[in-house]
Homo-oligomer: A and B are copies of this chain.
């Protein structure tokens, strides 16, 4: 433990793809925790597509990060000092923190990890926000039934990989959409999907029709754009669309038009958005359910771990361009 910490502050709002030049790497003294506060050192930092929204001043569901502020993000940290009775030095916790090597925050909103722990990075991925997102979306909106066909975009990603494995456990035919043969191979061979459509390989309509001969009953939407357009064409009567994200357009300065919604009436489709922060109670529920699956190896996940806080902006840009593979995590210490 040194007396100094490093943080990444937002220097300017990116236009299009964010990069390191939009951030300032700042050094200051590690602050002492006040009453009811906890000081942690950051072990892992989560990198997620939603972060693009925080860099924009476009009105959204959560406040933007302001110029000069520390970039927001979930972390796994180790407690160094605590003025809250719930935490003692050495505790491992997860919570919404920020892009900094050391963080002081209120104990409220922090979750202590206890029991037999899975690898710590998984609490940001398969057992963290993306995993809970997939679980909540599938259980509350998608509600896949045995024998149905479930289509998952960004299938090798942190959310998609969980959503698809849950649909397999529900007895569905599960088809992924991913970018490139490596990801598609992973989706089929490691995650156990029945098929995977490569959106770099052209003719999405035909590929999806081939992979989903009985149409699509549940579509888990992570990307938007051309994949959404093709997926929507394949929707069955009474199908459900879980609108989780549209990463394909997060860097767009103007949003392209969407689908004419006549099919929603004719096919009685349900299209519903979700943001996992609405359901904090689902985190513990999901961790209790899935941690044993991670520990016994029956539930698969993949991570890209980047070393060093200073590489967080580059990691975010990879996530936004599909250049990552699986859950993106920055190892800070």
Interface residues in chain A, defined as those with a beta carbon under 8 Å from any beta carbon in chain B: 53, 60-61, 224, 228, 237, 243-246, 249, 255-275, 278
Contacts and interface: CB of A to CB of B under 8 A. Distances in A.
Contacts of A255: 260, 262
A84 to B, nearest CB: 32
B224 A262 contact: yes
A264 B271 contact: yes
Given A61-B237, A258-B260, A265 B245 contact: yes
Contact of A273 (B246, B265, B272, B278): B265
A298 B284 CA distance: 50
Contacts of A61: 237, 266-268
A268 B278 contact: yes
Contact of A258 (B258, B268, B278): B258
Contact of A264 (B266, B273, B278): B273
A262 B249 contact: yes
A268 B275 contact: yes
Nearest to A244: B265
A260 B243 CA distance: 12
A260 B61 CA distance: 17
B260 A256 contact: yes
A261 B186 CA distance: 29
Contacts of A257: 257-260
A278 to B, nearest CB: 7
A256 to B, nearest CB: 6
26 contacts: A53-B266, A60-B266, A61-B237, A61-B267, A243-B264, A243-B265, A246-B262, A246-B265, A249-B260, A255-B260, A256-B260, A257-B257, A257-B258, A257-B259, A258-B260, A259-B261, A264-B272, A264-B273, A265-B275, A266-B273, A269-B273, A270-B270, A270-B271, A270-B272, A271-B271, A271-B272
Nearest to A256: B260
Contacts of A272: 264, 268-272
